[in-house]
């Protein structure tokens, strides 16, 4: 009788325990599934962990608290014939699998078969296909990840102690976070130095005979005697008044009408960056919250009637690629649910990605794993936030596989006495296409809606009113989490997996504060950013950080040796740290004596620095616990009550200037008051870069700041000495 062939036992090791249940139901009884709970080895916390004198060899140790987990995994390994390392399908996941081989001593077990498998989505087909395409560890990906880890460790462990010595303990400096902080600081400087410029808009409300409601036409410019038009910028109130009087006596008629058709292409499916941006705008999610919920949807959630189900594909990607299988499934679904006319004629009508050079196409875009699982079907089965994010991803993906939306665009040009030109743009939907599913609010609609009545060339129009409005140009907006992610992506700083952690870190360190979605530099952030810009300009330079990302990509592609990158980086860093230790003076940001007397014990209070800025504390602590806010006087009197104006901070750290008698006096401004009154309206002039700007927006007066003769003499003397 022939012997029965023994079935081999298989062990699949994933990162997250949440995946275990989802994957286990796809595999047979001879498969066991276990989790590593993320990384199992890392560089030691107590020291640099990289031997800079011996070929930059890293020294890895088992992460504290992982001993019991690894012991359990070793027992499971002993029972298995094949071990499949199924950590996340990215460089970090590749590195975790490599570390697992060492931590579990799999290289010392010749009787075990060890494979690496990856899948972009946790579905039965994807998991079983990955088992058929098992491979060895990709050491190029591992080396790219450990180079990133080593570089970040070098920056953090060499520069952070310098910040502790010069500023305060507990601070940190990271390679990517320092570049991101620099970007926030540069935007703050740009806003602070921005000088608003006056401009005017003039609108004419015109009505055709037989119609009651007027149409609003916008002033464009002048018409020459030869009939040519030229755009005219209105920047002076007197000029506008003259124009307004002229127009009130003018005759208006339609000069010409142009009708065209425009197609709006559907949006690309989500990448990590665009998902974070749209979730922030549409759902008011922070980047951290978006990634946390997306991780849950990727790993699998319990759905009644479906069991534990993974709803989306892998969430860390900068690719907009969609697999052919997913495209076919989407086309079948759209044809059935919406009709064949909603399918593009020549494949996907989505916009082409404009960042082709920066995309790592290892993964697909973020999409639903099953397009037929509509959000409405599971709305009552998911927590609210999970449902909202899934619905956003589902709609974006389905819309991206549909045909474009078609509009009829009408532009009407109206002349006033054949001397001045006004325009109106209007649109009418011919076919809604992808907009039947998803409205891409990232694209502005600059038309004025639909024409309320038809117009023809030479139609006479009667003037109802001329509406002239004064405006001032605005500075670039403060970064939000979403716009900072977008800027980091455009600059090539970081990768999809680092955007959210970077922003979370600079906020957790109180370098940056968030108010009403906007990010502001705190005083502590200004100090740290100043030190980094002065002593480590290359590290905070976005171009340097972006170039380093390119080198990491080169390592991942097998084109660059990882130790070459490290050995070229560290000596320059070491020299910069040693020079900074000599050059930098200790920042006087804490424990300075103040003029305030403690009302509880009579000691002179000191200025200390906390997570949210400076405060006054009694030096008699712990006997005396008295503390109170610290406000720095700027030497300018409040225009409302005459008391001192002081520098204040919002609860989250944003700087502003207000009366010391707050809340009795509610005076406050965001720019520093100069103490000089406006010569036009008498209002307070505020400092903006090298100019003074009237705080009354309706006035808008701007003038040069008075020259500080003493400061100028000092600068001149410094130049001579240099």
| Of residues 70, 75, 78, the one with CA closest to residue 96 | 70
CA distance 518 to 477: 8
Closest CA to 316 of 158, 140, 145: 145
Q: Can you tell me the distance from the alpha carbon of 701 to that of 692, in angstroms, rounded to the nearest whole number?
A: 8
Provide the 3-class DSSP secondary structure of residue 700.
coil
Instruction: Tell me which residue has tokens 């005459």.
Output: 642
Of 531, 512, 555, which is closest to residue 150 (Cα–Cα)? 555
Strand partners, 469: 201
**Alpha-carbon torsion 141, 145, 148, 151, what sign?**
negative
Q: What are phi and psi of 507, to 5 degrees?
A: -80, -40
Residue identified by tokens 């609210």 is 384
Question: Where is 435: in which H helix or E strand?
Answer: none
Residue 456 Cα to chain centre, angstroms: 48
Q: How far, in Å, are 155, 305, 307, 439 from residue 373 at the CA level? A: 46, 12, 13, 20
- In whole angstroms, give the CA distance from residue 119 to residue 528: 41
Distance, CA of 238 to CA of 236 (rounded, Å): 6
Q: How far is CA 388 from CA 293, 297, 513, 549, in A?
A: 10, 11, 27, 33
Structure tokens at 561: 């040796």
Please state the length of the chain. 722
Beta strands 10-14 and 82-85: pairing type? Answer: parallel
* Cα 219 to chain centroid, rounded: 37
* Residue 677 tokens, joined: 């009154």
Beta strands in 106-251 (DSSP E): 113-116, 198-208, 215-223, 229-231
Q: Which two tokens stand for residue 639?
A: 């225009």
Contact call for residues 209 and 253 (beta carbons, < 8 A): no
Burial string for 286-315 (b: 16+ CB within 10 Å, else e) reads bbbbbbebbebbbbbbeeeeeebbbbbbbb
Q: Which residues pair with 691 in a beta bridge?
A: 688, 704
104-109 own/partner pairs: CB under 8 Å, 24+ apart: 104/70, 104/73, 104/74, 104/77, 105/74, 106/77, 109/77
Query: Which residue is catalytic, options 115, 314, 390, 438?
Result: 314
Q: Are strands 113-116 and 198-208 parallel, antiparallel or unpaired?
A: unpaired
Q: How many CB atoms lie within 10 A of CB 388?
A: 19
Is the peptide bond between 303 and the residue preceding it cis, with omega within 30 degrees of 0? no
Q: What CA–CA distance (Å, rounded) separates 33 from 43? A: 27
User: What number of other Cβ atoms are within 10 A of residue 720's Cβ?
Assistant: 7
Q: 115 near 135, Cβ under 8 Å?
A: yes
Q: Which residues pair with 421 in a beta bridge?
A: 221, 415
Alpha carbons 382 and 281: distance in angstroms, whole number: 22
The contacts of residue 630 (CB under 8 Å, 6+ apart) are 594, 607, 613, 614, 615, 616
- CA nearest neighbour of 496 among 320, 352, 351: 320
Backbone phi, psi, residue 561, to 5°: -80, 130
**Which strands sit side by side in the sheet containing 604-610, from one edge to the other?**
592-597, 604-610, 613-617, 627-629
Q: Is 314 a catalytic residue?
A: yes
Catalytic annotation, residues: 314
């Amino acid at each position: 009788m022939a012997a029965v062939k023994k079935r081999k036992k298989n062990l699949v090791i994933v990162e997250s325990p949440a995946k275990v249940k989802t994957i286990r139901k796809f595999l047979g009884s001879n498969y066991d599934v276990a989790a590593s709970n993320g990384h199992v080895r890392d560089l030691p916390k107590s020291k640099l962990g990289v031997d800079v004198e011996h070929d930059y060899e890293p020294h890895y140790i088992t992460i504290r608290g992982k001993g019991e987990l690894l012991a359990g995994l070793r027992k499971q390994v002993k029972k298995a014939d094949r071990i499949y390392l199924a950590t996340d399908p990215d460089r970090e996941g590749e590195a975790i699998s490599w570390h697992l081989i060492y931590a579990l001593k799999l290289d010392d077990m010749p009787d075990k078969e060890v494979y690496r498998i990856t899948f972009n989505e946790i579905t039965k087909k994807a998991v079983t296909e990955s088992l058929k395409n098992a491979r060895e560890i990709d050491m190029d990906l591992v080396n790219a990840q450990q180079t990133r880890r080593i570089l970040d460790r070098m920056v953090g462990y060499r520069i952070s102690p310098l910040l502790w010595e010069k500023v305060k303990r507990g601070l940190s400096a990271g390679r990517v976070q320092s570049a991101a902080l620099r970007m926030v600081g540069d935007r703050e400087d740009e806003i602070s130095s921005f000088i608003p410029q006056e401009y005017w808009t003039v609108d004419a409300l015109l009505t055709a005979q037989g119609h009651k409601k007027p149409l609003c036409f916008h002033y464009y410019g002048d018409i020459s005697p030869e009939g040519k038009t030229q755009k005219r910028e209105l920047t002076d109130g007197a000029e506008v008044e003259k124009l307004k009087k002229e127009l009130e006596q003018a005759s208006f008629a339609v000069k010409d009408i142009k009708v065209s058709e425009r197609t709006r292409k559907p949006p690309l499916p989500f990448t990590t960056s665009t998902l974070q941006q749209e979730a922030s705008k549409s759902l008011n999610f922070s980047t951290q919250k978006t990634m946390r919920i997306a991780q849950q949807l990727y790993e699998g959630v319990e759905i009644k009637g479906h069991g534990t189900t993974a709803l989306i594909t892998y969430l860390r990607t900068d690719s907009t690629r969609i697999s052919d299988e997913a495209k076919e499934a989407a086309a079948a679904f759209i044809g059935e649910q919406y009709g064949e006319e909603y399918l593009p004629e020549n494949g996907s009508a989505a916009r082409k990605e404009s960042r082709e050079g920066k995309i790592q196409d290892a993964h697909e875009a973020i999409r639903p794993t099953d397009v037929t699982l509509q959000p409405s079907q599971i709305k009552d089965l998911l927590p609210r936030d999970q449902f909202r994010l899934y619905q956003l991803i589902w709609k974006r993906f389905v819309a991206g596989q549909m045909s474009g939306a078609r509009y009829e665009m009408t532009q009407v040009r109206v002349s006033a006495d054949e001397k001045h030109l006004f325009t109106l743009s209007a649109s009418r939907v011919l076919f809604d296409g992808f907009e039947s599913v998803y409205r891409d609010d990232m694209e502005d609609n600059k038309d004025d809606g639909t024409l309320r009545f038809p117009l023809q060339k030479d139609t006479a129009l009667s003037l109802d009113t001329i509406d002239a409005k004064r405006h001032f140009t605005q500075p670039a907006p403060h970064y939000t989490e979403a716009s900072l992610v977008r800027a980091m992506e455009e600059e090539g700083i970081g990768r999809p997996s680092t955007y959210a952690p970077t922003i979370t870190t600079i906020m957790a360190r109180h370098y940056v504060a968030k108010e009403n979605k906007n990010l502001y530099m705190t005083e502590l952030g200004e100090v740290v950013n100043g030190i980094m810009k002065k002593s480590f300009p290359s590290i905070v330079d976005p171009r340097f950080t972006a170039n380093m990302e390119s080198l990491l990509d080169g390592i991942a592609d097998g084109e660059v040796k990882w130790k070459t990158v490290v050995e070229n980086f560290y000596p320059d860093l070491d020299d910069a740290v040693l020079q900074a230790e000599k050059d930098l003076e200790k920042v006087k940001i804490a424990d300075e004596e103040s003029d305030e007397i403690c009302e509880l014990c009579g000691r002179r209070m000191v200025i200390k620095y906390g997570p949210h800025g400076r405060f006054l504390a009694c030096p008699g602590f712990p006997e005396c616990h008295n503390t109170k806010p610290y406000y720095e006087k700027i030497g300018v009197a409040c225009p409302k009550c005459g008391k001192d104006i002081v520098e204040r901070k919002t609860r989250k750290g944003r700087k502003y200037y207000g009366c010391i008698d707050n809340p009795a006096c509610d005076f406050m401004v965001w720019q520093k008051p100069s103490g000089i009154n406006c010569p036009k309206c008498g209002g307070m002039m505020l400092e903006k870069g090298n100019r003074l700007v009237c705080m009354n927006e309706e006035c808008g007066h701007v003038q040069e700041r008075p020259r500080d003769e003493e400061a100028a003499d000092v600068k001149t003397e410094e130049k001579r000495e240099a």
